[in-house]
Structure 1
Amino acid sequence: MALLHQFKISNGQVTYKSRFLSSDSYQGNKEHNRITVSEFGTVTMPDPCKNVFQRFVSRFELPKPTDNGNVSFVNYKGDYYVSTETSLMHRVDPETLESTKKVDWSKFVAVNGATAHPHTEPDGTAYNMGNSYTSKGAYYNIIRVPPTKSTAEDTLEGATILCSIPSVDKTKPSYYHSFAMSENYVVFIEQPIKMNLLKIVTGKLRGKSIGDGFFWDPKLNTIFHLIHKQTGEVSSIKYLAKPLSTFHQINAYEENDFLILDMCASDDGQAIANFNIQNLRKSGEALDEVYNTLCRVFPRRFVLPLNVDHETPFNQNLNNRPDSAAISIRIAKNKVFCTHEDLHGEDLHLYGGLEFPQINYSKYNTKPYRYFYGCGFRHLVGDSLIKMDLHGNRMKVWEQPGVYPSEPVFVPSPNATEEDDGVVLSVVITPNKDKSTFLLVLDAKTFEELGRAMVPVSIPYGFHGTFNATT
């Protein structure tokens, strides 16, 4: 269940508080002392207090969306929400961590869910993506949320669907966890991790979780869709790549008639099964086998030519950027096949790849940039923090045996003049009961430790966080 955490740094002191999200899912589970709402990896079983006929009928009910916002804090119109990948979010008070309102995307726009990774413009305009399932098939919808509220109670009022893209397979749309955004485009990555909608809607009948309806199809190419943010027009050019899976993009920007797209990706889509409970319960050689067979995620760059027209030549590399090994070849009238270049050296392999990428978002999102930060993954969870320098693909590492850092959060220094002038924050946990969890503070430039704030309570491993500057 979603557990919200807060570290407050003020006047040289650090305080910590946490609170379970008071969601309907949490309240139902607590009241009945069992799982009452199916989620990605868990299926609710019929109420044992019901008679046999009632339990049988309940298996034919469609799964209800969970409001267990356990993925990320997100921001719309200056308010903070906790979100997962259904249509339901909770607006929360960042000071008390209390839920102030449950909000349903489907009351404002025609979507069945939305990602927990929106993008935000400098003026506060937010973009997100959500699926919609209709009698005509599945669609991917680009959502735009205005930057300001009209009333104090305003939540997602004014949200609109910028465009809808039909799934290549109407009954098996692609799964996506996030998307990319440049100055003028939203970039949707249609990857070969597919969702079998029939399996998902019949999961309760079959006693299977939602995750059982997901599968990896390595026979399919990856497709990059470009959507113009102002007009909602979908580019007629489809940019293809070999099968890959991606959960998080690093950055995207436009330069000299190219769109540069950086992401963390792997050639295998089995990552959705990494955290199955049978893996988490293993130890010794059995756990080593899981580690050794994990698909590894590495930072990659694709270069997409924007000015492709009837005069663009076929079967030759259109990427003329100096010192770039990425390849983009026009293979048909409206198709360009893209091959990535690595954004790392061989030394990153020693740390198992990189995930949870973060940049100096407020100043460099959608712009050319030099640095990004992430977690090294030699194990099922991150076990190191890494700073990547795109000038030479050099890296700096923070690690300590037996501890596991969360996603690094970059916080710029006041009046910073350089991209990496600031600090990196990460919550570091340990499975050793006699050792404390702590908030780690690193100098973002040198990647040297500046300090840590110890917390004398156990904190579970988490994924995404955000920094909220207040005065």
Structure 2
Amino acid sequence: MEKNSAAYLFESVDECPEEVVTEISGRIPDWISGCLLRNGPGKYEFGEHKFNHWFDGSSILQKFNISRGQVTFQSRFLESNTYINNTKTQRLTVDEFGTTATPDPCATRFERFKSMFFKSSEETDNTNVNILKYGDCLLATTDSPKMYLVSTSLRAQKQISFRKLLSIHLASAHPHIDYDGVMYISGSSFAGRPKHHLVKVPPSQKGDEQELLSQATILSTIQSRSALNPSYLHSFGMTENYLIYCETPVSISLFRVLTSRVTGATVNKAFSYNPDEMAQFHIIKKSTGEVLPVKFQVKGLFYFHTINSYEDDNHIVMDVCAYTNFTTEHLFHVSLDTLRSGKWATDSGWKQHDQRPTRLVFPLRDASKEPPNKNLVTLPNSECRAFCVAENLVDIDPEKLLPEGENGLDMPQINYENHNARKYRYFYGAGLLVNNYFRSSIAKVDVESKASTRWRGTSNQHPSEPVFLARPRPGGSSEDDGVVLSTVCDTDPGNRDFLLVLDAKNLTEIARAYVPETVRIPYSIHGSYYRI
């Protein structure tokens, strides 16, 4: 396949299990000493059987080891049970998000007949979305109740199932780790009336990660507003004292999920977006798990990723990368063939919806006696408004953090180690592949001035989610004193993929670390950095 095509980003890659030395252009600061981790799909077929959706590809983990101005790279397929069985049988042994399993050719005639009507009850453990440091191990996650403990050499060590531990059927791929080391995870369960949960995991201690994950407890439970169509959530908010859970207007039809075992429909067809439905936000006390009686709502707002949340003068401020007025097909039903053809990027439907970073402000004071036309937001310089429309129900009129026309920014990252759950000013994001203002670029956004700065390479260079790395103190002082790391896939056949290092203050380029010509950097989804 020609490298200079959209398909290059969504084709299988070979793993690079042994570390290779990169070629440095520019100068990587000496104070950077640690590892950038990435996770995402990397293999899209087994034998003659192919996945249909980007989210289905087998997880490939990446690690850039940075020390003394030099960088090494390695990648390894996550040896999950699903990956091992697919490799052994050279077929798709379990259902994925957008692909059904292929029948077992070794099954009896009756078993093959039965599989036409009743699909396997086995679940995928292909954790291909995110990876983060947890104690001495790495934790690979996705939006399922299963996650993997992984060694720093990218070897799968142990599968952890929150379904077995806590009867949870979905779990967020984006845990929050608090300053005291406690980890929070959101999830949902569908036995009986659906429920949404916030899970609390004790702080990691050296060598006991598996034991601590098994000690996870449900901190709080929220009854789903719908008995048959619970909402889908990819990430939640956290402040110093609260967690924020959103029932989004993207729902999962449990009827379609259950009947898919007979109809053969894929799981992603059970997802649907209703632009007239409210996004409803629940506030939970971290100390007790109590759910505050007041709910906040915004019509039609959906998001995958929170940017940051914090408390300010008896308000909660929550920033998200919001999507409004889109279609379900654009976000959940896009096939790999459509991505490879490039049609998705030029689809005019993307111009019909507003995808910009958005601020929500939730006033915490009692509003029961306030008149319905009174704005409850009293923060100075805030354009967000809130109105009490019923007892314990507040409508939110959001504030856009970028001007109209600056669409298409997602994958947000902040100075997490110093400003997560605290007031902040800057975040960094990656532009979507669609034709819009931020297409295939890295951006820095000032949420106070609403100004943005972009780094963009050539039209063939596609950066991943940016990861901010703060300069160690006392040398580093300001919030944006550090660097931004991003992997870049270059589809020009004469160029190599590379790790990009940018000055976090102005996004000027500091250095690149090119992998060898025989090595490819997979087009990944999420990742993180940890210091050595």
> Do both share a fold (TM > 0.5)?
yes
1:187 pairs with 2:187: no
* Whole-angstrom distance in 1 between the partners of 2:446 and 2:201: 33
Alpha-carbon displacement from aligned partner over 1:113-168 (angstroms, at most 9, x marks no partner): 31110111111101111111122x11001100010349635241321101111111
* Whole-angstrom distance in 2 between the partners of 1:324 and 1:464: 31
Moved more, 286-295 or 336-345: 286-295
Partner of 2:514: 454
Q: 1:431, CA displacement in angstroms? A: 2.2
* Whole-angstrom distance in 2 between the partners of 1:239 and 1:353: 26
Q: 1:378, CA displacement in angstroms? A: 5.1
Q: 1:382, CA displacement in angstroms? A: 5.6
Q: Secondary structure at the match of 1:320?
A: coil
1:422 pairs with 2:477: no
Moved more, 420-429 or 160-169: 160-169
1:465 pairs with 2:527: yes
Q: 1:463, CA displacement in angstroms? A: 1.1
Would you say the 8 A contact 2:309–2:422 is kept in 1? yes
1:341 pairs with 2:399: yes
Q: Secondary structure at the match of 1:148?
A: coil
Would you say the 8 A contact 2:135–2:206 is kept in 1? no
Q: 2:126 aligns with which of 53, 59, 68?
A: 68
Q: Secondary structure at the match of 2:526?
A: coil
* Whole-angstrom distance in 1 between the partners of 2:82 and 2:315: 45
Q: 1:312 aligns with which of 365, 370, 383?
A: 370
Would you say the 8 A contact 2:368–2:392 is kept in 1? no
Q: Partner letter of residue 161 of structure 2?
A: D
Q: 1:273 aligns with which of 332, 335, 354?
A: 332
* Whole-angstrom distance in 1 between the partners of 2:361 and 2:303: 16
1:370 pairs with 2:432: no
Cα RMSD of the aligned pairs, angstroms, is 2.0
Give the unaligned 5+ runs of structure 1: none
* Whole-angstrom distance in 2 between the partners of 1:188 and 1:61: 33
Q: 1:274, CA displacement in angstroms? A: 6.1
Partner of 1:397: 454
* Whole-angstrom distance in 2 between the partners of 1:337 and 1:391: 23
* Whole-angstrom distance in 2 between the partners of 1:4 and 1:427: 13
Partner of 1:435: 495
* Whole-angstrom distance in 2 between the partners of 1:53 and 1:125: 50
Q: Partner letter of residue 139 of structure 1?
A: K
Q: Secondary structure at the match of 1:233?
A: coil
Q: Partner letter of residue 479 of structure 2?
A: E
Percent identity over paired residues: 37
Q: Partner letter of residue 128 of structure 2?
A: N
Q: Secondary structure at the match of 1:468?
A: strand
After superposition, residues 244-283 of structure 1 pair within 5 angstroms as 244-267=301-324, 268=326, 270=328, 271-273=330-332, 275-283=334-342
Would you say the 8 A contact 1:196–1:213 is kept in 2? yes
* Whole-angstrom distance in 2 between the partners of 1:463 and 1:146: 27
Change (3 A) 1:220 1:287: closer
Q: Partner letter of residue 14 of structure 1?
A: V
Moved more, 67-76 or 146-155: 146-155
Would you say the 8 A contact 1:80–1:93 is kept in 2? yes
Q: Secondary structure at the match of 2:85?
A: helix
Q: Partner letter of residue 372 of structure 1?
A: F
Q: Secondary structure at the match of 1:307?
A: coil
Alpha-carbon displacement from aligned partner over 1:320-374 (angstroms, at most 9, x marks no partner): 222211110001111100010111124xx35x42100100011101111000000
Q: Secondary structure at the match of 2:211?
A: coil
Would you say the 8 A contact 1:244–1:269 is kept in 2? no
* Whole-angstrom distance in 1 between the partners of 2:521 and 2:349: 23
Alignment length (residue pairs): 464
1:388 pairs with 2:445: yes
Partner of 2:96: 39
Q: 1:87, CA displacement in angstroms? A: 1.7
Would you say the 8 A contact 1:251–1:262 is kept in 2? yes
Moved more, 146-155 or 170-179: 146-155
* Whole-angstrom distance in 1 between the partners of 2:340 and 2:304: 24
Partner of 1:105: 162
Q: 1:294, CA displacement in angstroms? A: 7.2
With CA pairs under 8 Å and 6+ residues apart, which has the higher RCO, 1 or 2? Answer: 2
Partner of 2:41: none
Q: Partner letter of residue 237 of structure 1?
A: V
After superposition, residues 158-177 of structure 1 pair within 5 angstroms as 158-177=215-234
1:326 pairs with 2:384: yes
Q: Secondary structure at the match of 1:203?
A: helix
1:147 pairs with 2:203: yes
Moved more, 52-61 or 322-331: 52-61
Change (3 A) 1:388 1:231: same
Moved more, 264-273 or 450-459: 264-273
Would you say the 8 A contact 1:240–1:338 is kept in 2? yes
Change (3 A) 1:229 1:433: same
Would you say the 8 A contact 1:263–1:299 is kept in 2? yes
Would you say the 8 A contact 1:251–1:261 is kept in 2? yes
Q: 1:52, CA displacement in angstroms? A: 3.6
Partner of 1:212: 269
**TM-score, normalised relative to structure 1:** 0.94
Moved more, 415-424 or 42-51: 42-51
* Whole-angstrom distance in 2 between the partners of 1:433 and 1:260: 45
After superposition, residues 219-258 of structure 1 pair within 5 angstroms as 219-258=276-315
Alpha-carbon displacement from aligned partner over 1:395-431 (angstroms, at most 9, x marks no partner): 1110012100000000000102110000000000022
Q: Partner letter of residue 204 of structure 2?
A: T
Partner of 2:67: 10
Q: Partner letter of residue 515 of structure 2?
A: V
Moved more, 459-468 or 73-82: 73-82
Alpha-carbon displacement from aligned partner over 1:166-205 (angstroms, at most 9, x marks no partner): 1111121001111111111110111111101121133232
* Whole-angstrom distance in 1 between the partners of 2:243 and 2:327: 23
After superposition, residues 113-124 of structure 1 pair within 5 angstroms as 113-124=170-181
Change (3 A) 1:76 1:469: closer
Give the unaligned 5+ runs of structure 2: 1-57
Would you say the 8 A contact 2:276–2:299 is kept in 1? no
Q: Partner letter of residue 22 of structure 1?
A: E
